Amino acid sequence: MFEDVNVVQLTVFTILFAAVSVLGFVAARWRRADDLEHLDEWGLGGRNFGSWITWFLIGGDLYTAYTFVAVPALVFGAGAIGFFAVPYTIVVYPIVFLVLIRLWSVSHVHGFVTPADFVRARHGSSTLALLVAITGIVATMPYIALQLVGIEAVLKAMGVTGHVPIIVAFAILAAYTYNSGLRAPALIAFVKDALIYVVIIVAVIVIPYKLGGWDAIFGAAEAKFEASPNPGDGVVLAGPAQLQYATLAFGSALALFLYPHSITGVLASRDRNVIKRNMAALPAYSFILGLLALLGYMAIKAGVVPIGFDAATGEAGDSNTIVPVLFDQMFPSWFAGVAMAAIGIGALVPAAIMSIAAANLWTRNIYVEYINKDATPKQEAKSSKLASLVVKVGALLAILALDPQFSIDLQLIGGIIILQTLPAVAIGLYTRWFHRWGLIAGWAAGMAFGFWATYQIPKVAYSPEGEVIILKEHFGGSGLPLTELGFDTTYSIYAGFLAILVNLVVCALATLVFRAMKVPDGEDVTKSSEYFADQDDPRLRDMPEVVH
């Protein structure tokens, strides 16, 4: 387990990891209310986070450990296509600005904790709310598992093998999340983001200097991709890849804030102005993300080889280790240890929020709706705490039992899955024109098309002669070749983009049919004015007073 381990790196990593774990337990006393046994307190931090806390919480929630290793790894392997994450994290914030401030207001008036709570009240359908809840849980589970991939990549780079360290790390995470709820990742996010900022800024200054400048870095990347047999690789985006790039960026932007953990961070905000300020300022993270992606080109120039790569056998190795190995090569061990810790801690914040969000969906939309309709606030909080443990254990078992690459492929369709809640949640915040059964029909059609499309997508590689090698027949990505739809072209398109179009078309047609049949629609218990309520509105639910 500890053969050939870098002692200095592991020591720095362990000290910083232990420090944030202590913070996680201390967080239970931070901005504490009289009664912590309440879902508003445990699951939403008292709904009282201001601009700075929300900034770090949402940023720490969206920019995960897997982002830190996967985006540069994709740029390292394929080039420009890996930068899709930059425009999508820019496009998303204006969309969220228009949508989620309305969700914040109506949720604070009615006490909604999850998006499925809103759907239940808005569309008067427990069935639709159940589908939204299940969709959120299913889409979130592989996302949590992927945080382990980031930690695993860091441990490999330090020479630590085996599953015991990962189990210990997630056991600690489970303990302080159970104890402190959303306050734990909110407090840890300060440390996580500070470490990431320092590491990235130092990296984009020091590494290019050591490698001979940006001209040398981009020159090495261009030479690599010119020699690549894959026609889609390149420093400049190849023509056939442009449609997939654009639809993937836009579709991912639509999906990002439909994830339950994203909504959890927004609902924890104190007022509408906090959300507005954060949506205006959060694109600054996109600048950091762009710098982070450039690490992939730096790794090419530095001659980084993924751990496990074997030219003799054709073993590609673990591409997620690109960034940790780059830091190991380019920096002294103590600073590489800080960088490893930044990635490792970067897994804790989103994993905690994701497990809390999934647990809240279970409690409010399954446990209370179908198992214990008269649950007290204390019973709700207890149910969410236990469910959060189950979610973490499930994610851990998935990584231990399955090939991590399979979990990565599962996450690729996670965005397609969560996109199918867009009509009921995001569009539902503006209009109730869709019939509740039309929304259910659209959800089913979008899901069916999404799974059909991803089933048609193989995972391929290319021989040195340019011949296509099928590594996996199905579920090999999210880019659907348009040839599968009968077009004679080399272009591909993001499967989720087509799936949500199918969803919307079926929603509209089914709504017309159900209205023509005079099928009763559900009762809307919300009012138009409630979508604009702010902190000083008397209709907002009273919260427990904070103990300072």
Q: Tell me the per-residue pLDDT of 163-181, one tens digit each, with 9 for 90 and over.
A: 788 888 888 888 888 888 8
Nearest residue to 295 (alpha-carbon basis) of 317, 319, 322, 318: 322
163 burial class (0-12, 13-18, 19+ CB within 10 angstroms)?
A: middle
The pLDDT value recorded for residue 545 is: 42
One CATH from 3.40.50.300, 1.20.1730.10, 3.30.365.10, 3.40.50.11810 for 7-26+35-310+323-413: 1.20.1730.10
Report how far residue 349's alpha carbon sits from residue 381's, in angstroms, rounded to the nearest whole number. 20
- 475 phi/psi in degrees, rounded to 5: 50, 45
pTM above 0.75, yes or no: yes
Query: pLDDT-based confidence at 546, cuts 50/70/90?
Result: very low
What does the block give as tokens for 137?
């849980």
Report how far residue 238's alpha carbon sits from residue 347's, in angstroms, rounded to the nearest whole number. 33
Share of the chain above pLDDT 90, in %: 42
| Strand, coil or helix: 130 | helix
SS3 content of the chain, % helix, strand, coil (to 5): 70, 5, 25
Question: How large is the average pLDDT for residues 199-218?
Answer: 94
Higher pLDDT: 236 or 403? It is: 236
Q: Give 299's contacts (C-beta < 8 A, 6+ positions apart).
A: 72, 76, 322, 323, 325, 326
Report how far residue 305's alpha carbon sits from residue 436's, in angstroms, rounded to the nearest whole number. 53
Higher pLDDT: 188 or 67? It is: 188
Question: How large is the average pLDDT for residues 202-216?
Answer: 95
H or E stretch including 89?
helix 85-110
Question: How large is the average pLDDT for residues 451-455?
Answer: 91
The yes-or-no verdict on residue 509 having pLDDT over 70 is yes
Query: pLDDT-based confidence at 411, cuts 50/70/90?
Result: low
Residue 432 is given by DSSP the state: -
The 10 Å CB-count burial string (b at 16+, else e) for 349-369 is bbbbbbbbbbbbbbbbbbbbb
Answer yes or no: are the C-beta atoms of 432 and 122 closer than 8 Å: yes
Radius of gyration (C-alpha) of the chain in whole angstroms: 23
What does the block give as tokens for 203?
């990296």
The yes-or-no verdict on residue 131 having pLDDT over 90 is yes
Higher pLDDT: 21 or 34? It is: 21
Question: How large is the average pLDDT for residues 462-473?
Answer: 72
The 10s digit of each residue's pLDDT in 316-355 is 778 888 999 999 999 999 999 999 999 888 888 888 899 9
Q: How many residues are listed for the chain in this entry?
A: 548
What does the block give as tokens for 250?
């836009």
What does the block give as tokens for 119?
């759907």
The 10s digit of each residue's pLDDT in 210-247 is 999 999 999 999 999 988 888 788 899 887 888 999 99
- Specify whether the backbone of 314 is left (phi greater than 0), alpha (psi in -120 to 50) or beta: left
Least confident of 23-37, 276-290, 296-310, 396-410: 396-410
The pLDDT value recorded for residue 547 is: 38
Higher pLDDT: 110 or 548? It is: 110
The 10s digit of each residue's pLDDT in 29-83 is 776 665 667 888 888 888 888 888 888 888 877 777 777 888 898 899 889 988 8
Query: pLDDT-based confidence at 407, cuts 50/70/90?
Result: low
Query: pLDDT-based confidence at 392, cuts 50/70/90?
Result: confident
What does the block give as tokens for 54?
């929300």
H or E stretch including 459?
strand 459-462
| Strand, coil or helix: 1 | coil
Higher pLDDT: 508 or 242? It is: 508
- Specify whether the backbone of 222 is left (phi greater than 0), alpha (psi in -120 to 50) or beta: alpha
Query: Quick count: other Cβ atoms within 10 Å of Cβ 467?
Result: 9
Query: pLDDT-based confidence at 543, cuts 50/70/90?
Result: very low
Higher pLDDT: 13 or 97? It is: 13
The yes-or-no verdict on residue 497 having pLDDT over 80 is yes
The pLDDT value recorded for residue 340 is: 92
The 10 Å CB-count burial string (b at 16+, else e) for 90-118 is bbbbebbeebbbbbbbbbbbbebbbbbbb
